[in-house]
Amino acid sequence: MKPAINLLFLFFLGISAGFSQNTATGFIYRDINQNNKKEKGETGIEKVAVSNGREVVLSDKDGKYEIPVGDDNIIFVVKPSGYSLPVNADNQPQFYYTHKTNGSPELNYPGVSPTGKLPKSIDFGLIPDTLTENFTMLVFGDPQPYTRKEVDFFYRGIIKEVEGIDEVSFGLSLGDLVGDDLELFQPYRDAVKAVGVPWYNVMGNHDMNFDVKADSLSDETFERHFGPANYSFNHGKVHFIVLDDILYPDPRDGDGYWGGFREDQLTFVKNDLKYVPKDHLIVLAFHIPLKEGEFGDSFRDSDREKLFGLLKEYPQTLSLSAHTHIQNQDFFGPEDGWKQGRKHHEYNVGTTSGDWYGGHFNEAGVPVSTMRDGTPKGYAFLSFKGNQYSVRYKVAGQPEDYQLNLYAPKVVPQNEWLSARLVVNFFMGSEQDSVLYRIDQEEWKSMDFVSTYDPSYIYMMQEWDFADELLPGKRPSNPSESTHLWMGSLNNNLVEGIHTIEVKATDMFGQEHRATKEYRIVKRNEND
């Protein structure tokens, strides 16, 4: 029996050694002179969380931590509020150490080179910063350039508009940083650094190593350029958790990908939340939405339910996603596995690439690229006051107050039956919002929420189908049902001439948005 016992012992020892065969140690300290070296007089910081992507530990009174580590781990500090992180030349926060003893496996796109033995001390310097609970961040959905030319579209169409911005604390891209060609990671980094603020990144399904057989290896090239695909940090009274929610290869049949989480990722979230106060806002950021997509079963239900279970004691939550190349406000209740009375809000952000850089070129030579639900391409500002948040969507190349698109005929016959309608696309809207309209300053009337295609988008798309010659650029994609359209009737029983439509929409944050449009009433000639 003794040999069997020894084999069993070695078996369990091997399981343990696969993740915890070594112990990483180091210090979290105040980097006063910001040279990224722990020097005399730079004191340690206690109770700062450090993770290996699964376990999470706190630094002691001297700033020291210890955490298990295997041959393939990224050790990272969970930035506490009141501190900032050093950034590299590309404005990427430096909060991690990659430990891959033997490096990444051989892949079509290179991963991390061998790092060798574990250093004696892995230290993380934090820069003392003014503690503020009110701040704004910038959010990009799917830059997704497939070529260097499209990287240039991204830079000239989006980055130049926010270059040098001074009103945001940091930025975040919600995945699909590039379009399958991982050699474009560095050109993407070169573009984003021009914004001039620390920039975090989420991994998307077009950022993966496709020549792997295990999901845990699909982020090797991403790790080389951006660090861990799963991490967290604090800012003010907000705790951000960034997750790779693409399961590749698809565990159902090994073909393609599926939205969801591995067990080690959910374990990380569980361990991470142990050290987050219950009154803080939890913001989750991932690529694929938790909401099922328009093309079927896009997310593993059991993983969503497990995640919701981990959040049940946090009354303030928000999820950020992209991927769809449309814009949605989704809400989850008990019927979806949400464990609280107040619904969970997921903001599915419109993309900076819009409709994959399609459509006509604007005056700057950049594709207009309106998305399939009629949302113009753009980006979002998230503003925080304590544990509360609000969102403002900015259409690229348009004034800040362009939040509504009004579709109506330019001219209508007087006093005749009229089938034409006023259709309003409220880009940030949801079914629970209020949209009102009036004509010529008459009494305000409620508009009817509808789920259909945006007629403005259909008109734009069909221009390509009816053209006798090839048009410059790419034909827009086929339309998708919009979740933010409202409809109202037009009054043509008025005097001849120009009449003004006014629309006002109030979003879920109490922000009011207005727009106007004119139409003309003409009396038909009796001989017509």
Instruction: Indicate the pLDDT class of residue 295, thresholds 50, 70 and 90.
Output: confident
Q: For residue range 210-243, what is the model confidence (pLDDT) as tens digits? A: 999 999 999 999 999 999 999 999 999 999 999 9
Q: Cα(520)–Cα(280) distance, rounded to whole angstroms?
A: 53
Predicted pLDDT of residue 132: 87
Q: Cα(227)–Cα(77) distance, rounded to whole angstroms?
A: 12
462 within some domain:
yes
Q: Cα(494)–Cα(412) distance, rounded to whole angstroms?
A: 11
Phi-psi label, residue 374: left if phi above 0, alpha if psi -120 to 50, beta otherwise: left
Measured in degrees and rounded to the nearest 5, phi and psi for residue 147 equal: -140, 165
Q: In what order do the strands lie in the sheet with 83-84?
A: 64-69, 22-30, 124-128, 83-84
Residue 288 sits in the same domain as residue 373: yes
Residue 322 sits in the same domain as residue 447: no
> With 80 as the cut, is the pLDDT of residue 3 above it?
no
Residue 173 sits in the same domain as residue 309: yes
Residue 85 sits in the same domain as residue 185: no
7 within some domain:
no
Q: Which residues contact 113 (CB under 8 A, 6 or more apart)?
A: 100, 103, 104
Measured in degrees and rounded to the nearest 5, phi and psi for residue 28 equal: -100, 120
Residue 132 sits in the same domain as residue 170: yes
Residue 79 sits in the same domain as residue 151: no
Q: Which of 85, 100, 124 is the last residue of a domain?
A: 124
**What number of other Cβ atoms are within 10 A of residue 367's Cβ?**
23
Are residues 274 and 239 in contact, defined by beta-carbon separation less than 8 angstroms?
no
> With 60 as the cut, is the pLDDT of residue 37 above it?
yes
Predicted pLDDT of residue 525: 83
> With 50 as the cut, is the pLDDT of residue 16 above it?
no
1 within some domain:
no
Predicted pLDDT of residue 9: 39
Q: Cα(30)–Cα(304) distance, rounded to whole angstroms?
A: 38
Does an H or E element contain 450, and which?
Answer: strand 448-452
Q: Cα(99)–Cα(74) distance, rounded to whole angstroms?
A: 6
Identity of the amino acid at 450: V
Q: For residue range 416-436, what is the model confidence (pLDDT) as tens digits? A: 999 999 999 999 999 999 999
Q: Cα–Cα distances in Å, from 311 out to 283, 314, 414, 417? A: 11, 5, 58, 54
Number of domains, the chain: 3
Peptide bond into 249 cis (omega under 30): yes
Phi-psi label, residue 415: left if phi above 0, alpha if psi -120 to 50, beta otherwise: left
Q: Cα–Cα distances in Å, from 176 out to 94, 207, 295, 350, 488? A: 21, 6, 19, 13, 37
Give the mean pLDDT of 366-395: 98
Q: For residue range 448-458, what is the model confidence (pLDDT) as tens digits? A: 999 999 999 99
Instruction: Indicate the pLDDT class of residue 114, thresholds 50, 70 and 90.
Output: very high
Predicted pLDDT of residue 528: 62
Residue 369 sits in the same domain as residue 508: no
Instruction: Indicate the pLDDT class of residue 372, thresholds 50, 70 and 90.
Output: very high
Predicted pLDDT of residue 292: 83
Predicted pLDDT of residue 178: 98
Residue 145 sits in the same domain as residue 53: no
16 within some domain:
no
Does an H or E element contain 488, and which?
Answer: strand 482-489
181 within some domain:
yes
Q: Indicate the range of 121-135, 138-152, 179-193, 382-396 predicted with least confidence.
A: 121-135
Q: Cα(297)–Cα(303) distance, rounded to whole angstroms?
A: 13
Residue 238 sits in the same domain as residue 361: yes
Predicted pLDDT of residue 12: 41
What residues are paired with 518 via a beta bridge? 500
Short-list 205, 333, 338, 181, CA closest to 260: 205
17 within some domain:
no
Predicted pLDDT of residue 130: 86
CA dihedral 450, 452, 457, 463 (to 10 degrees): -130
CATH code assigned at 47 = 2.60.40.10
Looking at per-residue pLDDT, the higher value among 12 and 67 belongs to 67
Total residue count of the chain as it appears in this document: 528
47 within some domain:
yes
Are residues 281 and 308 in contact, defined by beta-carbon separation less than 8 angstroms?
no
Q: Cα(338)–Cα(370) distance, rounded to whole angstroms?
A: 33
Instruction: Indicate the pLDDT class of residue 18, thresholds 50, 70 and 90.
Output: very low
Write down the pTM of the prediction: 0.94
CATH code assigned at 182 = 3.60.21.10
CA atoms within a 13 Å half-sphere pointing along the CA-CB vector of 399:
7
Predicted pLDDT of residue 6: 43
Short-list 480, 486, 129, CA closest to 325: 480
Q: For residue range 249-268, what is the model confidence (pLDDT) as tens digits? A: 999 999 999 999 999 999 99
Predicted pLDDT of residue 371: 98
Encoding tokens for residue 192?
A: 């984003």
Q: Indicate the range of 37-41, 75-79, 157-161, 474-478 predicted with least confidence.
A: 37-41
Short-list 81, 95, 24, CA closest to 47: 81
Q: What percent of the chain has pLDDT over 90?
A: 91
Residue 227 sits in the same domain as residue 326: yes
> With 90 as the cut, is the pLDDT of residue 415 above it?
yes
Instruction: Indicate the pLDDT class of residue 281, thresholds 50, 70 and 90.
Output: very high
Q: Cα(300)–Cα(260) distance, rounded to whole angstroms?
A: 5
Q: Which of 124, 143, 158 is the last residue of a domain?
A: 124
Q: What is the mean pLDDT of the chain?
A: 94
What residues are paired with 486 via a beta bridge? 424, 449
Residue 427 sits in the same domain as residue 346: no
Instruction: Indicate the pLDDT class of residue 17, thresholds 50, 70 and 90.
Output: very low
Measured in degrees and rounded to the nearest 5, phi and psi for residue 405 equal: -115, 125
Encoding tokens for residue 351?
A: 């993309």
Are residues 318 and 345 in contact, defined by beta-carbon separation less than 8 angstroms?
yes
Largest CA distance in the chain: 108
> With 80 as the cut, is the pLDDT of residue 14 above it?
no
Q: How, if at all, do strands 512-522 and 411-413 pair?
A: parallel
What residues are paired with 299 via a beta bridge? 259
Residue 377 sits in the same domain as residue 309: yes
> With 90 as the cut, is the pLDDT of residue 527 above it?
no
**What number of other Cβ atoms are within 10 A of residue 234's Cβ?**
20
Range of the domain at 207: 125-395
CA dihedral 481, 140, 435, 443 (to 10 degrees): -130
182 within some domain:
yes
Q: Which of 64, 89, 124 is the last residue of a domain?
A: 124
Short-list 209, 213, 64, 206, CA closest to 124: 64
Q: Cα(289)–Cα(260) distance, rounded to whole angstroms?
A: 10
